[in-house]
Amino acid sequence: MSALTSSTGREGRRGILPWLAVPALLFFVGFAVVPLVGVFVLSFTTWDGIGTIHPSGLTSWRAVLTDPGLPHALWVTFLVMAVSWAVQTPASILLGTFLAGRQRYRAVLSLIYFVPLLLSSAAIAVAYRALLDPNFGLGAGLGSEWLSKDWLGRPWLAFGVVVFVVSWQFVPFHSLIYQGGVQQIPHSLYEAAQLDGAGRIRQFFSITLPQLKYTIITSSTLMVIGSLTFFDLIFVLTEGGPGDATRVLALDMYKRGFQADLMGPASAIAVILVLMGLAIALLLRRLGGRDAGESQLEGA
Amino acid sequence: MTTTLTEPQPQKTLPRERGQRPGATTRRRNWLGGLAGWLWLAVVVVPLYWILITSLKARSNYYATNPLAPPTDPTLDNYELVLESDFISYFVNSVVVTVGAVVPAVAVSFMAAYAIVRGWRMRFLRVVNGMFLMGLAIPLQATAIPVYLIIIKLQLYDSLLALILPSIAFAIPLSVLILANFIRDVPKELFDSMRVDGATEWGTLWRLAAPLTRPAILTVTIFNALTIWNGFLLPLILTQSPSQRTLPLALWTFQGEYGVNVPAILAAVVLTTLPLIILYAFGRRQLLSGLTAGFSR
């Protein structure tokens, strides 16, 4: 509060400005910052979600860190993140570059591409469960041996389905980001390249891709942080199964906390998720060589 | 200047001739991109098409016919079945939560974004901005357990307000970022002339910044509405009784109740998505260009 009053004094007429940020700040502190500190505190307690909360030192952490399920959940989380990034990024860049062009039918395409983003993860998961059902789904209906696999019943198939469905849902969004990025590349660069006799493919790799650097960082950050929170889709689609094949950390947290009533260990998992998110964001920011937020503000 | 500001297109690009887009690498035909474009269209459309036609098939008919063939005699029985459940009340709940969260979320985010842009010299506002940016880097779902605890302590568990309050908080980081990016593009001279005319900061906020950044406000509104309408985790952990259910959660329970009645389940999928499709039909131009500009700077 001292920063607030001192700046009011210094700025004179602009005294109202800091107060304009206060309502947003209150919501954010109350339901994001306090919980963020809270989840750290709760990881040192024992709580069944209803009764009283008991401090229990490192018990929860010990339970989580010695659980063989943790390395597995970490591995699955990492794998979902890495594979879905590797699938979505090239596809989104390609589609985004394509959509940045001028023909009219591209506008129609981008209109349809966007529809999966309107469906809730729950709706998408419910629909794909029906679509992929080995007995009643598309494969059985078409009498296709290849399509009527037990998609969600085999570990690697289920993993593949999760990555596919995630991409189905989010590639449209990221291709939109890339479309905007491509549209901001100065046209003169391409003209110069053309004069130098660079072909289209050469232009793509020498101009488009390097110019998209910051767009790639933005999109990747959103993608990777988002992949840490793939809870609803996986929860409805596979419930983490078969076995634990698709049990990512966010799902692990829910199952330990809200199904097994072990809020302490679940909080420890949540802390790990937060740390992963921060670490990845910092890493991407370093790779990008600039602070996405700050430099945008200073460049104004 | 003011006319260009109402365009949601990126404004910081170099001046260019009309009708010519920078980066339009496609003077000649882009075969590879075109192929990928049409291929992806199929990937997107086939499941959507299947959902729609299956929802119009009679249950008995569904198992007997080619799943990709259009229904021979389309029926709305499945929709009737879904609507006869408490669909309407889930729908109303979703509307209440979405409107109840989006309106305050956008209002407080806009005020904060304005303050951050205009008061960038104040350390307090830079700290606030840094906090919101941190919110972008953290999976806020990880805070589910303390949020659950807070909601219980506030005695809001199993109420719609329990869904609204955290939804507002979760919407703030991205909203502030996008809105601040747009407010920054309002020329400083306009603010200065408002001040010379004796306008207060509050007046400038609503009479200058808000109208000029209307496309961004609309974009953020639609985007938040989309996210909150489709929210699943918060309803799952913060409500219990069917009377407080929102659509995504209801869909999940439908799936359990209807078992293998695939056409009915898919009718429910269509019904829960329909409001967004309608919203999209009206706001798509705005949404697409706003998102393109908002995220790609």
Give the closest of A130, A180, A292 to B262, CB-based.
A130
B45 touches chain A (CB under 8 A): yes
Instruction: Look up tokens 């018990």; give the residue.
Output: A59
What residues in B contact A16, CB-CB < 8 Å? 200-202
Q: How far apart are CA A116 and CA A129, in angstroms?
A: 16
B223 CB-near residues (< 8 Å, 6+ apart):
B174, B178, B287, B290, B291
Per-residue pLDDT tens digits for B28-59: 566 777 788 888 888 999 999 999 998 998 88
- In degrees and rounded to multiples of 5, residue B246 shows phi and psi of -105, 170
Give the closest of B111, B139, B166 to A24, CB-based.
B111
B228 touches chain A (CB under 8 A): no
Per-residue pLDDT tens digits for A260-277: 999 999 999 999 999 999
Measured between CA atoms, how close is B261 to chain A, in angstroms?
Answer: 9
Q: How far apart are CA A147 and CA B79, in angstroms?
A: 28
Provide the chain B residues 145-184 that lie in CB contact (below 8 A) with chain A. Answer: 145-150, 165-166, 168-170, 172-173, 176-177, 180-181, 184
Nearest CA in chain B to A266: B145
What residues in B contact A218, CB-CB < 8 Å? 295-296
Per-residue pLDDT tens digits for A90-115: 999 988 888 887 766 777 777 788 88
Measured between CA atoms, how close is A234 to chain B, in angstroms?
Answer: 12
Per-residue pLDDT tens digits for B144-194: 999 999 999 999 999 999 999 999 999 999 999 999 988 988 888 888 888
pLDDT for the residue numbered A126: 92
Per-residue pLDDT tens digits for A201-247: 888 888 888 889 888 988 998 898 888 888 899 999 998 878 888 99
Measured between CA atoms, how close is B231 to chain A, in angstroms?
Answer: 7
Provide the chain A residues 50-89 that lie in CB contact (below 8 A) with chain B. Answer: none
Contact between B105 and B179 (Cβ < 8 Å) = no
Contact between A124 and A169 (Cβ < 8 Å) = yes
Instruction: Look up tokens 């829910």; give the residue.
Output: A254
B24 touches chain A (CB under 8 A): yes
- In degrees and rounded to multiples of 5, residue A54 shows phi and psi of -110, 135
A43 touches chain B (CB under 8 A): no
Q: How far apart are CA A141 and CA A148, in angstroms?
A: 9
Q: How far apart are CA B266 and CA A13, in angstroms?
A: 58
* CB-based contact A31 B30, cutoff 8 Å: no
B82 touches chain A (CB under 8 A): no
Interface test with B, best of A16, A29, A120 (most B CBs within 10 A): A120
Per-residue pLDDT tens digits for A162-213: 999 999 999 988 988 898 888 888 888 888 888 888 888 888 888 888 889 8
B215 touches chain A (CB under 8 A): no
Measured between CA atoms, how close is B130 to chain A, in angstroms?
Answer: 8
A97 touches chain B (CB under 8 A): yes
pLDDT at B214 over 70: yes
Model-level pTM? Answer: 0.86
Closest CA to A48 of A37, A40, A56: A56
- In degrees and rounded to multiples of 5, residue A120 shows phi and psi of -70, 155
Take residue B252 and report the two structure tokens written for it: 């999940």
Ordered DSSP codes for chain A: -HHHHHHHHHHGGGGGHHHHHHHHHHHHIIIIIHHHHHHHHHTTEE--SSS--EE-TTHHHHHHHT-THHHHHHHHHHHHHHHHHHHHHHHHHHHHHHHTS--HHHHHHHHHHTGGGGS-HHHHHHHHHHHT-TTTSHHHHHT-TTTTS-TTTSHHHHHHHHHHHHHHHHHHHHHHHHHHHHHTS-HHHHHHHHHTT--HHHHIIIIIHHHTHHHHHHHHHHHHHHHHT--HHHHHHTTT-STTTT--HHHHHHIIIIIS--HHHHHHHHHHHHHHHHHHHHHHHHHHTS-HHHHHHHT-
Chains A and B form CB pairs within 8 A to the count of 387
